Structure 1
Amino acid sequence: MIDWVTDIVAAGGSLGVFALMLAENLFPPIPSEVIMPLAGFAAAAGRMSFTGILLAGIIGTLLGNGVWYEASRAYGSEAVKRVVDRHGRWFAIAREDVEEAEAMLRKHGAIALFFGRMLPGVRTLISVPAGLARVSRPVFYTATMAGSAVWVGALAVAGLLLRENYTLVEGALEPLGIAAMAGFVGLYLWHLWRTRRRNRRPTNS
């Protein structure tokens, strides 16, 4: 995977970084933890502009999240809840989960969106309840852009600072990716168990 991402970054420059970060936020095939450090490393080697990759990463992230936000906002909360009532058990999601996420975004919209941009597994998903809760567009896009700038910038700077030492940590990226995926699967299974247990509880008449 690393060689493939590196080839895209090298061949596409800032446009390649933009495309990868857009894809990462639409349907995450490659984590930003791989894309942006590689781009920063390429900038350190003089193959592309650091400012260019930084702007490309932020804009790609913002547009990817904007797609989910606008789609969920247009679809509507009640429509999503009906879908969750019918099919949510396959994804360990219940109506209560959607309502809790909406309430959290209504109360802490800007803060949740800002810090959510730095949390694996939350970065893209948080845009959906933000749309359902109809968080205002200025709040959503400003907080998302600010949080994305911090996260994307930190990853790019890490790659920039590694420079020739990047090969020393390159081998650790794949195990870390596997560990992150294992953690995500474990979290999903735990949430699935919790949701089914909650649904089996008898309701008080």
Structure 2
Amino acid sequence: MITAGLIALAAAGTSGDGEELTGVAGWAVDLMERLGAPGAGVAIALENLFPPLPSEVILPLAGFTASQGSFSLASALFWTTAGSVVGAAVLYLLGAVVGRRRMYWIWERLPLVKLEDLERTERWFDRHGRKAVFFGRMIPIFRSLISVPAGVERMPAWQFLGLTLAGSAIWNVVFVLAGYWLGEQWHRVEGYAGTFQYVVIAVVVGLACWWLVNRVRSIRHQRPAGG
């Protein structure tokens, strides 16, 4: 059962410092109010499937809820990590269902891409796939996407699940404990994590633009002079 303090918090629609608890935070509070610690696991599983849902909000809020006595800290850590693994496993299965053959079929019909690019990506994943899955669990947005190529490349399921469990546990422990220790100031965690996420997105967008410019130049150079 949720504590009276958290029920009042959710009913008032405010955080501990008077700010509105709306959007994802309000939704997560409602899930944890209804389901307890498993509600935090459900929220994190959905965050894996829909990256716009920020774990940087859900995890500290789960820690804060645990600090109010609604459920134990151990339960918060267990269920959020279980949710991470379940959500990642669903995307892994999606990649496995799509499969290598369908992926090549789709890739050959995309503009500005070459078959050898996909082949190089496969070779890169063969060499660095384990590190990508492990460290990818700690990078916003990427932690969801990395599960798909792992499934496409048929990384052994036991290896994928083990690396996902280890990486997710580290990420979740940091954010849940931060929310637990910060108490009513749990929302401060989001600001630091948000800055990190923007940096990651900027780097990814920059690399994508660099790749696109180089690909267009390459195509122009390969065209006949009068083409």
The TM-score bracket by the shorter chain reads 0.7 to 0.9
- Aligned pair partner of 1:194 in 211, 218, 223: 211
Cα offsets for 1:145-200 (capped at 9, x unmatched) = 11111111111111111124436x27xx3696488358637733651463254144
1:38, 1:119 → 2: CA distance? 19
1:21, 1:132 → 2: CA distance? 23
Q: 1:82 to 1:189 in 2, by over 3 A?
A: farther
2:141, 2:55 → 1: CA distance? 11
Instruction: Say whether the 8 Å CA contact 1:17–1:39 is kept in structure 2.
Output: yes
Q: How does 1:36-51 map to 2 (within 5 A)?
A: 36-51=59-74
- Aligned pair partner of 1:125 in 145, 150, 166: 145
- Aligned pair partner of 1:54 in 55, 73, 77: 77
Higher helix share: 1
Mind listing any 5+ residue stretches in structure 1 that lack a counterpart?
none
Q: 1:195 to 1:99 in 2, by over 3 A?
A: farther
Deviates more, 1:150-159 or 1:67-76: 67-76
Q: Equivalent residue for 1:34?
A: 57
Q: Equivalent residue for 1:73?
A: 96
Instruction: Kindly state the Cα deviation for residue 23 of structure 1 after the two structures are TM-superposed.
Output: 0.8
Instruction: Kindly state the Cα deviation for residue 123 of structure 1 after the two structures are TM-superposed.
Output: 0.4
- Are 1:114 and 2:134 matched, yes or no? yes
Instruction: Say whether the 8 Å CA contact 1:102–1:130 is kept in structure 2.
Output: no
SS at match of 2:65: helix
Mind listing any 5+ residue stretches in structure 2 that lack a counterpart?
1-22
Instruction: Kindly state the Cα deviation for residue 5 of structure 1 after the two structures are TM-superposed.
Output: 2.6
Partner amino acid, structure 2, of 1:49: S
TM-score normalised by L of structure 1: 0.81
Cα offsets for 1:43-65 (capped at 9, x unmatched) = 01111222222121111111111
Cα offsets for 1:10-45 (capped at 9, x unmatched) = 333222112111111112231111111100011011
Aligned residue pair count = 199
SS at match of 2:71: coil
2:150, 2:166 → 1: CA distance? 16
Deviates more, 1:49-58 or 1:147-156: 49-58
- Are 1:21 and 2:44 matched, yes or no? yes
Q: Equivalent residue for 2:172?
A: 152
- Are 1:203 and 2:226 matched, yes or no? no
- Are 1:139 and 2:165 matched, yes or no? no
SS at match of 1:62: helix
Partner amino acid, structure 2, of 1:58: T
1:121, 1:88 → 2: CA distance? 24
Q: Equivalent residue for 1:103?
A: 123
Q: Which has the larger radius of gyration?
A: 2
Instruction: Say whether the 8 Å CA contact 1:102–1:132 is kept in structure 2.
Output: no
RMSD: 2.9
